[in-house]
Every structure is written in C-alpha cells, then in structure tokens.
Amino acid sequence: MPERRRPLGRLAPTAAVLLVALLAGLSLGTAFLVARHFGDDARSMSRLYSGVYSGLNSSQPGGEADALLRLGEQVRQLGMPLVVTDSSGTVTAADNLPAALRQLPLEDLRIRRFVSGLDAGNPPLLDSLSGQRIHYGPLPAKGQLTALAVLQAFIILMMVAVAALAYRSGMSAERDRLWVAMAREAAHQMGTPLTSLQGWIEVLRGRPVPPANLAEHLAADAERLDRVAKRFERIGNPARREPVGLGALAARVADYFRPRLPQHANRITLRVDAPGAGPVVTGDPVLLEWTLEALVKNAIDALQGRQGAITIRVGVDRSQAELRVSDDGPGVSREMRRSLFEPGTSSKDGGWGIGLALARRVIEDGHGGELILEPGERGATFVIRLPLADERS
C-alpha cells in the first residue's frame, strides 16, 4: 500500500466512530422535531375547537361574532397564507403573505400570481352564500417536515458512507494481513529445502568425496522448491482439472513430514489409512497437496511439546471422497471455532493464521468441496470432502 494511503487507513476507525456519533445526534434531533410538531399541532386544534364551541354556547350578545373573530385571529397565527377573492376574482383580503408581498396593494399583479400558485397546490374553498373564494397555502409545518425529509435523506447517505468506509477499511486491513501472511508462509515453506541445501553444501566443503545419493537429495530439495513456487503461482488462477488419487496424495505428504517429526523426546507418529492410491477426484494436484500439508502442519503444531499421533484417513462417503486429518492434541477451543478459518486467526504465538484460510479457499472456492472441523471432545479432526471424479464428468 502506498505511504499516503496508510494514514487514511489508521484514521478510518476514528472517522467511523465520529460518523456514527453524528448519526445518533441527527436521529435524536429528528425525533425531537417530530414530537414538537405533533405537540404544537394538537394544541392548535384544541384551541380552535374550544373557540368554536365557546362562541356557539355563549349567552352574551355578539358572542358568536367575537368567537369568529378570535377564530380568525387564531387561524392567522398558525401562519397559513390566506387570500380571499370575490366572485370576479378581485382580491378583497389577505394575510400571512410572504414578506416581499406584504406592502403591496391587493390589486397588484404579483399578488394575483401568488394566488395562482396557492391554487396549484390546494384547490380554493368556495363560499356558496357570498360567492367568495378562500385561497390558502401550506402551514409552516410543511416546510419543517420537508426539512426533516431532507435530513433523513442526509442521514441515510451518512449511513451508507459509514458502511462503505468501514467495509473499505476492513477489506484493506484484511488484504494487508493476507499479503504479509502469504509472504511469511512462502518464506517458511522455502526455508526447509534451503536449509537442507545449505547443509549439503557444508558437507561437500568438508569432504573431498561427495557422499552417496547426494544427487538424489539435491534433486529432492530442488523439486520441493519448485513445488512451493508453483503453489504461489496458482493463487488467484483457476484450479486445474486433473485426476488426483487421494491415497497417493496422502502417502506423498506423509513421506515428506515423517523425517522431520520428533523421534525421541515427545515423539510424534504420522500414519496413513488409505485403500491404495484412490479414491480419485478431479482437481489441482499442487493445490490439493498444499491443503493437506497445511492440515498436517496444523496438527503437528498442536502437538508441540507433547507426545502424540496424527492420522490421515482416506475414504468414500456416498458420492464424495473424504480426507480426514486427526490428532490427539488439546483440540480447538469453542471461542476459536467460530473464526478458525478466517485470515489472521491463530492459536500460536507469532502465528499469522493463513494456512487454514487458504486451505478452505482452495477446497471450497477452487474445487467445489467442503472443509470443516469435525466436532469432538478430544483432539481435532479436519475433514475434506470432494466430489468423486466420475461425479464431475
């Protein structure tokens, strides 16, 4: 990642927290405005209702007229634009006009245009007795509610921005961990054959005559380096489709690990239980071997510092081939089971947690199979299930 993008990555969590806090504040403000609007509306309607009935029930002379005058005043106080025209369309009264129109005479053409605008939004009310028309506009609350709608839209945009920022930051961090872990894994896998080659070089320097079978040992180490290089070349490319015998694959992986297992203190044994070279699946032999090695290495790491046994069992369950890698170590805790196959999850000090994540990707994304941790009380058993070769043809 370029240097200029790293500060943004570090600030992304803080920015996300600030945006969430802003969203919470905006939501509370919206709720307050809505509650206040409905409260004001209820009080206004109550005053109007009370004024009408107090006038109708008044025993004083002229009480009805006084009630109507108070009612008109209350309507004007609501802030609703009102314009009254006679039967010929002449403006006879107006109230709550916009500030730019309040000082104009009622017959001004601009007020007539304003009346046309009111009628476009609300049909005028006709007084059948006098022939007058009452033209009215929206309450100020409509503008407030429109502002609230805009505010809600802004909140939604902010939520999308927070989600996008959090997703981008998370993906960037995970991608960084993945690349670093893959580099470490490559160095680790190349380390063994390189160490062996250095050892043979020291042997040659100390002996005038090369030891027997030196060429075979050097060829094996070179082949190992070549396989490791090919594995990383395959990442990101479609998996090859070749017949692969899982029994032969298990035997080859076991033969590689057996000479490297502890043989004296805290001895670890590795056994293969397979019915010959099969069963046969269709897949990428290089990636499938890498996956099985990752599971075996995981089992070896689980047995570090203790004596134990690892078993690679090959079989068939209905239409699927199965590879089981079991160990009698301490097992996997319940807390770790939920994120075991995610990049960065590791129970080892200094571990990068890349092996199982890549293994699942190879099996499930590249081969249409399944890789799971089988429930159990003792040790750990990883199960690979792949369709048999004849099922895919």
pLDDT of residue 34: 74
pLDDT in tens, the chain (393 residues): 444 444 545 565 666 677 667 767 767 777 777 777 677 767 766 766 666 666 666 666 666 666 666 666 766 777 778 888 888 888 888 888 888 888 888 888 898 888 888 888 888 888 777 788 888 887 666 666 677 667 767 777 877 777 777 777 766 666 666 656 666 666 666 666 777 777 777 777 877 777 777 777 777 778 777 777 776 666 666 667 899 999 999 999 998 888 778 877 888 999 999 988 989 999 988 889 888 988 998 888 888 878 899 999 999 988 899 999 999 888 887 777 777 777 655 555 544 456 788 888 888 888 889 999 988 778 899 999 999 986 444
Q: What is the 3-state secondary structure (H, E, C) of the chain?
A: CCHHHHHHHHHHHHHHHHHHHHHHHHHHHHHHHHHHHHHHHHHHHHHHHHHHHHHHCCCCCCHHHHHHHHHHHHHHHCCCCEEEECCCCCEEEEECCCCCCCCCCCCCHHHHHHHHHHHHHCCCEECCCCCCEEEECCCHHHHHHHHHHHHHHHHHHHHHHHHHHHHHHHHHHHHHHHHHHHHHHHHHHHHHHHHHHHHHHHHHHHCCCCCCCHHHHHHHHHHHHHHHHHHHHHCCCCCCCEEEEHHHHHHHHHHHHHHHCCCCCCCEEEEEECCCCCCEEEECHHHHHHHHHHHHHHHHHHCCCCCEEEEEEEEEECCEEEEEEEECCCCCCHHHHCCCCCCCCCCCCCCCCCHHHHHHHHHHHHHCCEEEEECCCCCEEEEEEEEEHHHHC
The pLDDT value recorded for residue 282 is: 93
What is the per-residue pLDDT for 314? Answer: 95
pLDDT at 316: 92
- This prediction has a pTM of 0.51
Domains along the chain?
81-137 (no CATH), 239-392 (3.30.565.10)
User: What pLDDT was estimated at residue 2?
Assistant: 41
